[in-house]
């Protein structure tokens, strides 16, 4: 039987934030996975080991695939600290990305601080801009520098703090698209969920999205621009908002309990 739905959810601030709500959502998602009607993707800026520990300690649901480091790495079960990212995706991205050139776009930006080494990989160049005199202005300057090279690179600006330079073909949205195509999933039955700007690519790529009530204004603004019907703005925050949205799109059967 083909998978009926694909749900791709961000982790931090989308699934996490309310443990009781996450436990309830995780149990409902697990039921669908066991029935074979759900393919669950966790789509995150985290590293794999932080996802694996989150499954043990934070109640993250067991997924069918994990996108790490903002969609530059894809992992499939069995998930462990020894897991290697999917080779086909890695090689596709390596063909267009030069780490040295990506770093060169950041030169001389006042107040910029590189993120810790573990978040800077062969396919992801990441810094913090919250120490800049004008973080949005600094992000705009970096975008301007990258623009002539947009065939190879893209800029993701998120939370007024995190800026990533990624391969043009990567990002959360395109990584999910790759999984949908390579796994034979139905692209018309994908629901995404998120809370910040680094989730925007998922919303642009797919027809149905859930914005949790605690979402940052950058994602709310994008959601509004995509128009009615495509995006559901939950009244509740965190996992309760995801659950509400999945009921709205009828991935989960509606409950009468509300909040």
Q: Where do contacts with Mg ion occur on this chain (CB under 5 A)?
A: 10, 12-13, 195-196
Cβ at position 41, least distance to Mg ion in Å: 14
Single out the residue of 50, 38, 37 nearest to residue 11, CA to CA.
50
Among residues 46 and 189, whose Cβ is nearest to Mg ion? 46
Cβ at position 9, least distance to Mg ion in Å: 9
Residue nearest to Mg ion (CB): 13
Cβ at position 112, least distance to Mg ion in Å: 22
C-alpha to C-alpha distance for 188 and 198, rounded to whole angstroms: 22
Cβ at position 14, least distance to Mg ion in Å: 5
Cβ at position 194, least distance to Mg ion in Å: 6
Does residue 224 sit in helix, strand or coil? helix
Among residues 90 and 161, whose Cβ is nearest to Mg ion? 161
Among residues 85 and 237, whose Cβ is nearest to Mg ion? 237
Among residues 195 and 244, whose Cβ is nearest to Mg ion? 195
Cβ atoms 57, 23 nearer than 8 A: no
Q: Enter the DSSP assignment of 193.
A: E
Among residues 42 and 74, whose Cβ is nearest to Mg ion? 42
Burial class (CB in 10 A: 0-12, 13-18, 19+), 91: exposed
Cβ at position 242, least distance to Mg ion in Å: 11
Among residues 54 and 97, whose Cβ is nearest to Mg ion? 54
C-alpha to C-alpha distance for 155 and 157, rounded to whole angstroms: 6
CB atoms within 10 A of CB 214: 16
Burial class (CB in 10 A: 0-12, 13-18, 19+), 97: buried
């Amino acid at each position: 039987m083909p998978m009926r739905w694909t749900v791709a959810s961000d982790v931090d601030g989308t699934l996490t934030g309310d443990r009781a709500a996450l436990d309830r959502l995780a149990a409902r998602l697990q039921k669908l996975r066991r029935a074979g009607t759900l393919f669950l993707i966790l789509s995150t800026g985290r590293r794999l080991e932080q996802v694996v520990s989150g499954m043990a300690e934070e109640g993250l649901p067991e997924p069918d695939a994990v996108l790490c480091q903002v969609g530059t790495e894809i992992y499939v079960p069995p998930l462990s600290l020894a897991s290697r990212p999917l080779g086909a995706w890695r090689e596709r991205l390596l063909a267009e990305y030069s780490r040295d050139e990506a770093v060169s776009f950041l030169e001389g930006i006042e107040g910029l601080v590189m993120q810790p080494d573990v978040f800077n990989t062969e396919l992801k160049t990441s810094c913090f801009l919250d120490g800049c005199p004008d973080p949005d202005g600094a992000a705009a300057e970096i975008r301007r520098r990258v623009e002539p090279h947009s065939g190879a690179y893209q800029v993701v600006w998120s939370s007024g703090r995190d800026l990533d330079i990624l391969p043009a073909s990567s990002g959360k949205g395109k990584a999910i698209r790759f999984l949908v195509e390579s796994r034979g999933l139905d692209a018309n039955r994908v629901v995404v969920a998120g809370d910040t700007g680094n989730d925007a690519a998922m919303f642009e790529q797919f027809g149905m999205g859930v914005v949790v009530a605690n979402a940052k204004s950058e994602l709310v603004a994008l959601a509004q621009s995509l128009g009615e019907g495509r995006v559901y703005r939950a009244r509740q925050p965190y996992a309760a908002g995801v659950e509400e949205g999945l009921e709205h799109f009828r991935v989960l059967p509606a409950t009468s309990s509300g909040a």
